[in-house]
Chain A
Amino acid sequence: MIKLEDNEKIIKVFRKHWLPISLELMSLFLVAIIPIILFSFLRNTLFFDLSLRNAYFLFLLYTLFLIFIWILSAIIWLDFYLDMWVLTDKRLIDVEQKGLFSRDISSLRLDRIQDIKIETHGLVNTLLKIGDVHVQTASAQKEFLIRQINKPDLVKSSINTAHNLEMEKAKIVRLEN
């Protein structure tokens, strides 16, 4: 997956909160049961007066529809699982999965970090401790955004600690020289 530098160690891996993906999967489940609800409403009409053989055809169509929903759920889960932020002792790495065949990986050296800001909007996000973490940098990229993360304050403190350690190391190296 991500190539680490020599002596680089992973401190933590952050992922999005489970709530957004749960809502997406829940809505897919609702879409999956819509045909059953429709069928139960319409089965008594003459239009739906089906022979057994033709009922099997409708079941076949519904099963193919369920396969489609199942695959879509797996893609949504993969997108959630492969979207992550990896904090190492040298860098903060952002891995963004876009669908099945596209992925963006960007990294930021900890010594380039200038400021870290947390944003939490809304009642649900406040209660469940979901928020965005903005990492301001000295590089051309300017900002590194970690969206809908679980416990953004902990993420911020982890990045701060790693940043401070990296800066301490840099000071020691300078003093030794």
Chain B
Amino acid sequence: MKYNISMSEINKNLSLNSLIDLIEPSHASLVFIIFAIIAILISIAILFHFNKYRHHSLGTIFAELIYLAGIVFLFGLAFIFLVLFSK
């Protein structure tokens, strides 16, 4: 028996596009929310530690601000991509 399937055809069947098309936007949102809840809980624990030892130096406050700015920026970016994907 001969198989007449070209490489490009296999690639087309296995394309990332078709795989991502299977994902429902609502499922992606749910995963995002769960991830965000876990990340926020861990961030609260991290900030609790930062504040616990705050009196050490101004550097601690600076590090806290950098961490907060980074996490807010990344979550904002993730939210924008989620909205664009869900459209």
Contacts and interface: CB of A to CB of B under 8 A. Distances in A.
A60 B81 contact: yes
Contact of A60 (B16, B17, B82): B82
Contact of B17 (A50, A67, A74, A75): A50
A47 B20 CA distance: 12
B45 interface: yes
A77 B63 contact: yes
Interface of B: 8, 11-12, 14-17, 20-21, 23, 28, 32, 35, 39, 42-43, 45-46, 49-50, 52-53, 56, 60, 63, 67, 70-71, 74-75, 77-78, 81-82, 84-85, 87
| Interface of A: prevailing SS | helix
Contacts of A45: 11
A50 B17 CA distance: 5
A18 interface: no
A8 interface: no
Contacts, number: 88
Given A54-B21, A81-B53, A100 B14 contact: no
Interface of A: 1, 13, 45-51, 53-54, 56-60, 63-64, 66-68, 70-71, 74-75, 77-78, 81-82, 100-101
